[in-house]
Amino acid sequence: MQIEKRKSLNIILNSTAFYLLSYLVVFLIFQFTTIIASKIFDIPTTLFYNKIGYNVIPEAWTFDAVKVIYSSGNIMLFLISISFLVILIKAMEFNGLLRLFFLWGFIHAISMLFGSFIIGAFNFEGFGIVLSYLYLADTAKMLLLFSGLLLLIGIGMAMVKAFLFSANSYFNFLSPKMRPTFRRDQFILPFVVSTLFLLIIKYPLSLYETLMLFIPFFILMPLYWGIGRFPVFYFEETEKSIQISTRLMIVTLVVYTLYRVVFGIGINFG
- Residue 60 per-residue DSSP state: G
Stretch 7-32: mean pLDDT:
96
- Residue 52 per-residue DSSP state: E
With a CB cutoff of 8 Å and minimum separation 6, the contacts of 213 are: 195, 198, 199, 205
Task: Output the pLDDT for position 1.
Answer: 56
pLDDT digits (tens, 9 = 90+) for 42-76: 899 999 999 999 988 877 788 888 889 999 999 99
Task: Output the pLDDT for position 262.
Answer: 93
User: Can you say whether the dihedral through the CA atoms of 85, 86, 91, 93 is positive or negative?
Assistant: positive
Contact at 8 Å (CB) between 162 and 100? Answer: no
Task: Output the pLDDT for position 128.
Answer: 81
pLDDT digits (tens, 9 = 90+) for 159-200: 998 899 898 888 888 888 889 999 999 999 999 999 999 999
Task: Output the pLDDT for position 45.
Answer: 93
CA gap 9, 66 in Å, rounded: 45
Q: How confident is the model at residue 2 (pLDDT cuts 50, 70, 90)?
A: low
CA gap 233, 6 in Å, rounded: 23
Specify the pTM.
Answer: 0.94
Alpha-carbon dihedral of residues 92, 97, 100, 105, nearest 10 degrees?
-120
Q: Which of 269, 270, 266 is nearest to 49 (CA)?
A: 266
Across the chain, mean pLDDT equals: 90
CA gap 183, 29 in Å, rounded: 29
pLDDT digits (tens, 9 = 90+) for 121-157: 888 788 888 887 777 777 888 888 899 999 999 999 9
pLDDT digits (tens, 9 = 90+) for 96-130: 788 899 999 999 999 999 999 999 888 878 888 88
Task: Output the pLDDT for position 36.
Answer: 94
Stretch among 8-22, 82-96, 206-220 having the lowest mean pLDDT: 82-96
Half-sphere exposure of 35 (CA within 13 A, CB side): 19
Q: Which of 9, 74, 50 is nearest to 198 (CA)?
A: 50
More confident residue, 1 or 213: 213
- Angular region, 3: left φ>0, alpha ψ -120 to 50, beta rest: beta
CA gap 257, 254 in Å, rounded: 5
Q: State how far Cα 21 lies from the chain centre.
A: 10
